[in-house]
Chain A
Amino acid sequence: MLTLLHDINFNIEAGTSVAILGASGSGKTTLLGLLAGLDTPTDGAVYLDDHNLNDFDEDGRASLRAELVGFVFQNFQLLFGLTALENVMLPLELAQAPHPRKTAEELLSRVGLQERLHHYPNQLSGGEQQRCAIARAFSTRPRCLFADEPTGNLDSETGKRIIELLFELNSEHGTTLIMATHDIELSKLCRQRIRLKAGSMLDNEMD
């Protein structure tokens, strides 16, 4: 059996922003997946909002995610069969939130896509797709937002604007932001930085 992560121990305060920093293959994405409850560790425990994720079965963790967590991915992960509006509406519909269409429209306007509501992902540019993904991530007002290399697939100018948007919305919603990145400049925007190397934690630095 291959150990992917070991000797990792840290706390994240509610409302803060955290960068998980490391080179490719250092275990950032795996750690992010564990923190978000997408996977469970073979050893050790992850607590999310005082819930030990090990105590939940997969459906329990799904329910927890629906309630607490939002995601932004490197390759956007928009569903190709759905329009921008429908992509943002999906988590709202799953959570049975009231007025999903209205909320989604407002969020898409907020990220500047009010003219692109009915476009499909392949009709949107990379930056627009990521804006749509961010609108989706915030649609259920998650307490905690996980972002995996959110600018990894974007040019630097677009990436910069996406990060600005992400941080703006983060502060507007008072969300805890946990972001995996290999970009040191980007990590400096966060209040806490956890550096990984070959699956173990090098340091845990806080501003």
Chain B
Amino acid sequence: MSLSKKEQGFSFYWYTSWRMLWRDWRGGELTILAIGLIIAVTSITAVGFFTDRIERGLQMQSAELIAGDLVLTSGRADIYDYIAEARSNDFRVATTQQFRSVVLADERLQLTEVKAVSDAYPLRGVVRTSDTAFGDDEATTGIPAPGELWVEPRLLQLLDLEIGDSVDLGTSTFTIRKFIRYEPDRAGDLFSVAPRVMMNSADLDATGLISTGALVNYRVLIAGDSDRIVKYQAHLKQQLRAGEQVLSVEEGRPELNTALKSAQQFLGLAALISVLLAGVAVATVANRFSNRHLNTSAMMRCLGASQDTIIRLFTMEMLWLSLLASTVGCLLGILTQFVITELLDQLVLKQLPPPSLQSLVLGYATGIVMLIGFALPPLLSLRRVPPIHVLRKDVPTRPPSVWTVYLAVVFCMSLLLYWQIGDLRLVSIVIGGIVATLAALASAAYLLILLLNRLRARVGVAWRFGLANISRRPGSSVIQIVAFGLGIMVLLLLSTVRSDLLDNWQSSLPDDAPNYFVINVQSDQVEKIMENFDEMGVVKTKLYPMVRARLVEVNGRKISTSDYESERAKRFVTREFNLSWAEEMQPGNELVMGQWWRQQDHNKPLISFETKLAQTLKLAVDDVVSFDINGSLMDFTISNLRSVDWDTFNVNFFTVVSPGVLEDQPANWITSVYLDKEQRKQLDKLVREFTNITLIDIETIMQRVRGIIERVSLAVEFIFLFTLMAGLAVLYAAIQSNQDERRFESAVLRTFGASKKVLMLGLFAEFTMLGALSGLLAGLSATSLAWLLAEFIFRFDYQFDISVALTGLVSGILIVVIAGLLGTRSVLTTPPVQTLREGRA
């Protein structure tokens, strides 16, 4: 039975909850809650805005690698049917036609890769040209004028021509005007043997080269606003006819994708750590907030407030707080990303698309979810405070069920992670990892506290008091050690491990990474080329053989494109493989399955496949594959599968066979080398001596990838500042968490005559031990975490470093003692009578 009671109207809750918020704010109860929320929301929105903008910006920039945002490609001219539609959608459009043809100069012939381009080409990026073969190049606007050709330097070397000479192409005569040094969309066919010739597409018909049946690759390049491009791409994909393909930036350059992906992972990780840490800070202070409001709630119950009234009031108070803090966080987030993008704008990116508002939604959602998940469970327990609590403090209050609190926290963490990562499996792994780490930290902390207790009998009064404080409240000490440990761990990760992570990432593309590919070297030239490189002072060169082969049978069964569904598999069945041979596995390759050949296996027909290619072609270890090599069939048994790091710009092969099998076959040799500016000047001599070899300059692409890595590293460092602030908030919250109890106990001790010095020593002892325990745990977890991150997420080698654990120990003691003593100075300065009069909070 319940008395007919007055239902409180919304205006009552609205008014009272705002007043409660104002009072608690004034009383300093909400500062850390608000700071925690603001840090989380700021970092999540800043990263959200920033990655969104930079992603679209980089996409625009990397679009130059396909010379547009989208490329439609086909072997038939009717791909041009799409031009009108693209133009009507206000996209910019250009076209290219590529085919092989022979250039004739004074009866000397040379097969070339001709590319006829239309006016606006390239839509993204620039063509770089020069007037001398290996001299300084410059960005060029425009395309070859009618009647003119731009050519790759080696064409002139092959034909012994100079700029200004004339050549015939088809039935037309052209003047050679410039050297092509860099062509944005050349990346896709770096290894084409024939040199490039670029002409104006207006001249194409007159050459008579494009006749029915000619092998021509027609391309329509499209560029425009990034949002609309994404939609248009989806639209195009549905329209495509047989033989037509649409390429976008993502499909353009895998190594750029990797850089972008790592960038996002770094930024996302930094933001997530900030959010989770801020969550820990919020949860820690929410507990104290709830404890300090036990009396308020009991008093309100005495004064007639129902359980619902209390819970609604506190919930609304928290809602207002989260809305206010989220608003501040979002504003700071917008400001922060402007600062970062401004910084980066000046470095490289010329223009970025404006921020989209999606991140704002994410910001508010984060604020609300965090406060509800981390702070509400302890507050909910306030509804169960018995009103008799005001008369009799010994009546126990029922704390919230530990499981409720933890489940809420885990649920909200998962929600936030899912938002960020969008992969349920990964979220489960991360959450599992976090829970396991926390459990491990907590158990380790508990064991250490038990050990500590044994020390008590052997130390003086002040230390005994300090150690007793730790072991007397094992629960709250464990929470403090874990919170301190988390805070210090992040500081450690930031100060030592972060730079390792970023350095490792940057060094994955070192300054002396190969910048030239030398291909088409004949077997009898290998030694001489090596001698030449030695003379030039080139280090780390090795030439790799390649034998052209076509895959025709698998396990004795002939294969054709119809055996495979995937486009990639079909392409591999029709194209030629480059079979290399090697005694040792190449650096950067890793054995995934099977065994690399031993000495005694040499001369046996064994083959190693790149693991993804094997998957595509549905091949496994011990399968027998037959290749057509120069007209004769050779069988190879697959002895192993390798993973290959394609991002290194080193020479790598999909297929490698054991030595002693292919040596008699005619082979082409290939290498990649790093050439500095001086060495590059000597290339002229090299290509004149070996007229058949081809040099491919990949410096520009590498600069671009390196640029992205450098820029994003800077942004990551900036975002990590928030993580640092969140770490400090956790430390502060941990110190605050049992401040009231400490103050009360100190007051009691002082009434018994304990001097300030003894109290100070006691606190010093307590914080020293807390700091040592948390620092040690933090150091160990930081190295383990860094190793996990390096091994499984960023995929590079990480060296264990014992000094990190020691730094943890020392910095733990320093940080916790300094912060602890500063944070608890009121314990010593508040007159004991005042503390005792206020009573145990």
A positions within 8 Å CB-CB of B = 29-30, 32-33, 36, 38-39, 51, 55-60, 62-67, 69, 71, 73, 75, 77, 79-82, 86, 90-91, 93-96, 122, 126, 140, 148
Contact = CB atoms under 8 A, between A and B. Distances in A.
Contacts of A75: 839
A194 B309 CA distance: 36
A94 B299 contact: no
A207 to B, nearest CB: 27
Contacts of B295: 77, 79
B3 A67 contact: yes
Nearest to B24: A81
Contacts of A91: 303-304
Given A81-B29, A148-B391, A96 B23 contact: no
A29 B391 contact: yes
22 contacts: A29-B391, A32-B391, A33-B388, A33-B391, A38-B391, A39-B386, A51-B3, A56-B2, A60-B5, A62-B301, A62-B307, A65-B304, A71-B302, A75-B839, A79-B299, A81-B29, A86-B23, A91-B304, A94-B305, A94-B309, A96-B6, A140-B303
A65 B12 contact: no
Contacts of A122: 834, 838
Contacts of A96: 6, 8-9, 12
A75 B388 CA distance: 14
A185 B75 CA distance: 111
B384 to A, nearest CB: 9
A59 B299 contact: no
Contact of B2 (A59, A71, A80): A59
A104 to B, nearest CB: 13
B315 interface: no
Nearest to B839: A75
A57 B82 CA distance: 75
Interface in B349-388: 386-388
Interface in B547-589: none
Q: Which of B3, B5, B306 has the most CB of A within 10 A?
A: B3
Interface string B274-306: 000000000000000000000110011111111
Contact of A66 (B12, B29, B303, B392): B303
B522 to A, nearest CB: 87
Contacts of B305: 62, 66, 94
Contacts of A67: 3, 304
Nearest to A65: B304
B3 A56 contact: yes
Given A30-B392, A73-B391, A77-B295, A63 B8 contact: no
A29 B27 CA distance: 31
B300 A65 contact: no
Count class of interface residues, chain B:
35 or more
A199 to B, nearest CB: 14
A198 to B, nearest CB: 17
A93 B304 CA distance: 11
B295 to A, nearest CB: 7
Contacts, number: 107
Given A38-B391, A71-B390, A96-B6, A62 B29 contact: no
Nearest to B393: A75
B40 to A, nearest CB: 25
A39 B6 CA distance: 22
A106 B39 CA distance: 45
A140 to B, nearest CB: 8
Query: Which 4 A-B residue pairings sit nearest by Cβ, starting from the closest?
Result: A66-B304, A63-B5, A60-B2, A81-B27
B189 interface: no
Interface string B756-787: 00000000000000000000000000000000
B16 to A, nearest CB: 6
Contact of B27 (A39, A62, A80, A94): A80
B457 interface: no
B307 A58 contact: yes
Given A51-B3, A67-B3, A86-B23, A95 B391 contact: no
B307 A59 contact: yes
Contact of A95 (B1, B23, B304, B834): B304
A18 to B, nearest CB: 17
Interface in B1-23: 1-3, 5-6, 8-9, 12, 15-16, 19, 23
Contact of A62 (B16, B304, B837, B838): B304
B473 interface: no
B299 A65 contact: no
Contacts of A39: 386-388
B26 interface: yes
A90 B307 contact: no
A90 B19 CA distance: 10
A29 B295 CA distance: 17
B160 interface: no
Nearest to B304: A66
B308 interface: yes
Contacts of B386: 38-39
Contacts of A86: 19, 23
A179 B533 CA distance: 104
A57 B29 contact: no
A56 B2 CA distance: 5
B457 to A, nearest CB: 36
A189 to B, nearest CB: 22
Contacts of A60: 1-3, 5
A30 B386 CA distance: 13
Contacts of B391: 29, 32-33, 38, 73, 148
A55 B3 CA distance: 10
A35 to B, nearest CB: 11
Given A32-B391, A38-B391, A63 B23 contact: no
B23 A38 contact: no
Nearest to A60: B2
Given A62-B306, A63-B3, A75-B839, A38 B300 contact: no
Q: Which of B15, B391, B838 has the most CB of A within 10 A?
A: B391
A33 B389 CA distance: 10
Nearest to A64: B3
Given A38-B390, A62-B306, A57 B839 contact: no
Contacts of B392: 29-30, 33
A57 B24 contact: no
Contacts of A32: 391
Given A51-B3, A79-B296, A122-B834, A94 B390 contact: no
Nearest to B305: A94
A148 B390 CA distance: 10
Given A33-B391, A56-B2, 16 more contacts: A57-B1, A58-B307, A59-B308, A60-B5, A63-B2, A63-B304, A65-B304, A66-B5, A66-B303, A81-B24, A81-B29, A86-B19, A90-B300, A91-B304, A96-B9, A96-B12
